[in-house]
Amino acid sequence: MIVFDQVSKTYPDGTVAVAGLSFEVPNGKITVLVGPSGCGKTTSMRMINRLIDPTSGTITLDGEDTAGIDKVQLRRKIGYVIQNAGLFPHRTVVDNVAALPRLLGGKKKETRERAMELLELVGLDQSFARKYPWQLSGGQQQRVGVARALATDPPFLLMDEPFSAVDPIVRAQLQQEFLNLQQRIGKTIVMVTHDIDEALILGDQIAVLRQGGHLAQIATPQELLRAPADQFVADFVGSSRGYRSLGFAQADEQLAIREVPSAPIGTPAAELTSREDGWLVAVDAEARPVGWVQRSSVETQLQETHVNHAGSIAQQTAPLRDLLDAALSSPSGDGIVADLQGRLVGAVSTDDVVAAIQRAKALQPGSPT
C-alpha cells in the first residue's frame, strides 16, 4: 500500500503544486489521479519514486517512509511507464526491456530470456525482439514501455499518461489489454491521466484533484458517477454521467450473444463459411478473435492482411459500454465478444446492447439521467 500523509510540494519559485494531500493506494489495485491541467497530478506521482521530493508530509510504501529509502533501491521496487514509452532509440526492443536488469547485474542470457517472456506477456511476439523502436507503431512502443517497467518485477507501477499518445481505437485496445494484464500480475498501480473516460475504465479508485493539488474526491468509478462530492467533480466527470453509470452495468442473460462463423488464419478459402452479409471472424491458433473479414476478399487462403482491424473486442463480462463500443465500432455492425481467456464467444448487435442498457436503466429508476 502507498500512503500519502499531508504531502505538500512548493516549487522554488513559490508555486504550490500540491497541498496537504492525503490518500491511500491499496495493493493490487489501479488508482488513477485525474484532474485539469496543472492540478498537480504529475508532481504527486513523481514524489512516490522521489523524482521530486515533497516539501512536507510523508509517503510510505508498505509502511516504510520513502524519505528513508535509498533512491536506487526505491526505484527498483517501482516500475515507471511514461508517455511515448521513452524507449532507447538505438537499442533493439529486447535490449530495451532487458536494460535495467542488465544494469543491476543480471546475466545477459537470463535477462534476455526474461525480456522475451515479458514481451509475450504484453502481446508482442518474438519477431518484435530484434526490431528498433522506430520500426514499431505507437501502440507497440507503449507495450514495450510496459514490458520494460515490469522487467525488475516491481510490486509498484507508476504510469504517466501511458496511453495518450496513440489514436483512440488503439488506445481502447491497449486499455482493455492492460486490464487483462493487471488481472494476471496484480501490481499496485498509480496512473496519471487528464482523461476522465480513461480513469473510469481503468481505475479501481479515482482521485480527482483540483488546482493546487487538493483532493476533491477519491472514490470508485461507480461512486464518482453516482455521487460526485461537489460541483467541480460533477463538472469534471461530465454531464453524461447517467448514461455512463448505466454503461457500468453488466449484460443480463437476456442479451443475445449470437454464434458467428469463424475461421483460423491460414484456412483455405474453399473452407470458409460466412454470414449472409459475407462477414466472418478470423481467429488465431488459440481461437482468439483477430477481427472481421469479408468472405469475398479471400481468394486462396485467409491471411492476417484480409482482416479489417476496425472495431474493438468486448469481453463477455465487461460493462455494457464496452459491448456497445464493440458494436458501434465494428465494420460488420456487430461487436465481437470474447471470454475471459480472450477466446471467441460470438457477436452482439447494437440494438440488443441498447435494449440491455434500457433494461439496466429500468432497474435503476433513481439513477441520474
Ligand X SMILES: Nc1ncnc2c1ncn2[C@@H]1O[C@H](COP(=O)(O)OP(=O)(O)OP(=O)(O)O)[C@@H](O)[C@H]1O
Contact residues toward ligand X (CB under 6 A) are: 11, 13, 15, 17, 35, 37-43, 194
How near is the Cβ of 245 to ligand X at its closest, in Å?
Answer: 25
**Cα distance between residue 265 and residue 291, in whole Å:** 11
The residue (of 224 and 290) whose beta carbon lies closer to ligand X is: 224
How near is the Cβ of 159 to ligand X at its closest, in Å?
Answer: 13
How near is the Cβ of 164 to ligand X at its closest, in Å?
Answer: 10
The residue (of 85 and 129) whose beta carbon lies closer to ligand X is: 85
Query: Grid coordinates in use for 59?
Result: 509517503
Cell 467533480, located at residue = 233
How near is the Cβ of 13 to ligand X at its closest, in Å?
Answer: 5
* 117 CB-near residues (< 8 Å, 6+ apart): none
Task: Report whether 252 contacts 309 (CB < 8 A).
Answer: no
* 3-class secondary structure, 249: coil
Query: Grid coordinates in use for 179?
Result: 486490464
The residue (of 42 and 303) whose beta carbon lies closer to ligand X is: 42
* 231 CB-near residues (< 8 Å, 6+ apart): none
Task: Report whether 324 contacts 351 (CB < 8 A).
Answer: no
How near is the Cβ of 93 to ligand X at its closest, in Å?
Answer: 28
Kindly list the distances between the CA atom of residue 213 and the CA atoms of 36, 98, 144, 242, in Å, as whole numbers in the listed order.
10, 36, 31, 28
The residue (of 37 and 73) whose beta carbon lies closer to ligand X is: 37
The residue (of 194 and 214) whose beta carbon lies closer to ligand X is: 194
**Cα distance between residue 353 and residue 252, in whole Å:** 10
Cell 480472450, located at residue = 342
How near is the Cβ of 298 to ligand X at its closest, in Å?
Answer: 46
How near is the Cβ of 157 to ligand X at its closest, in Å?
Answer: 18
**Cα distance between residue 145 and residue 368, in whole Å:** 39
How near is the Cβ of 230 to ligand X at its closest, in Å?
Answer: 19
**Cα distance between residue 354 and residue 180, in whole Å:** 25
Q: What are phi and psi of 351, to 5 degrees?
A: -60, -45
The residue (of 189 and 338) whose beta carbon lies closer to ligand X is: 189
* 86 CB-near residues (< 8 Å, 6+ apart): 145
The residue (of 40 and 162) whose beta carbon lies closer to ligand X is: 40
Q: Which residue from 229, 180, 185 is spatially nearest to 202, judged by alpha carbons?
A: 180
The residue (of 41 and 295) whose beta carbon lies closer to ligand X is: 41
CA end-to-end distance (rounded Å), the chain: 36
